[in-house]
Amino acid sequence: MLEIKKIYHYYGKARALEEINLSLKEKTLETVIGPNGAGKSTLLRVISGLEEPDRGKIEFQGERIDSLKPHRIARKGISHCPERRRLFYDMTVSENLDMGSYKVKDRSKARELREFVFEIFPRLKERKNQRAGTLSGGEQQMLAIGRSLMSNPKLLLMDEPSLGLAPKIKNVIFEAIEKIKEEGTTTLLVEQDAVLAMNVSEYIHVLEEGKIEMRGTKEELEKEPRIKEVYLGI
């Protein structure tokens, strides 16, 4: 579904991404893990068009998208759930979800998507008339994910969904991510909590200093001494 080939990206003279190659199959969940400043968020921003790569190419369903504007990429079926949520804080939960479904012309499909969001996040249904800015941090993250799902994405990009959350809420978020995976939504996840991320992922890419240094299944990476020491704490 997604093919990233030899992508480079710079901020001025600082190299953020170097020769990134990544393939993502349909109906899979893959994760990019790595420390702060490794380039994980930049990679998602390049895919969704918020940053333009300096070199390389990106293909989505066989079509090149690396020179397209973000709104055109979104219309092709890529939804980006950004780091730190970026909600419409003065709008209610329901209004935020409506904003996510603006390109879904079939109203029955929009209702179906909303019901799925409420199924995986019952707390949002309880708070559907509450302003987003008054929600807890965990509830805001649920809403950010829900809004992204409302566009009926072919590919969901998720940037640090567990950032700043208590362990109990992290588990709720990752239980929802597993349900999204079971529904067949292709997902590329960026995450610092390697243990949680590896538990839900079919394949993991380790990004450090802008380069993919290692990749493999959970079982393969758990055998690597450096992964065990740096990312898993064992």
CA dihedral 184, 188, 191, 195 (to 10 degrees): 50
pLDDT at 164: 87
In Å, the largest CA–CA distance within the chain is 51
Separation between Cα atoms, residue 42 and residue 53, nearest integer Å = 10
For residue range 6-30, list pLDDT tens digits in order.
999 999 999 999 999 999 999 999 9
Separation between Cα atoms, residue 106 and residue 135, nearest integer Å = 29
pLDDT at 234: 62
Give the pTM.
0.93
Strand partners, 212: 207
pLDDT at 215: 95
Contact 100, 148 (CB under 8 A): yes
Separation between Cα atoms, residue 56 and residue 71, nearest integer Å = 21
CA distances from 140 to 11, 24, 97, 124, 126 (A): 30, 28, 12, 9, 13
For residue 125, give every residue at least 6 positions away whose Cβ sits within 8 Å of its Cβ, in sequence order, or none.
118
Q: Classify residue 107 by burial, with Cβ atoms within 10 Å: 0-12, 13-18, 19+.
A: exposed
Q: How many C-beta atoms lie closer than 10 Å to residue 69's C-beta?
A: 12
Residue numbers in the chain where pLDDT is lower than 70: 234
Residues shown for the chain: 234
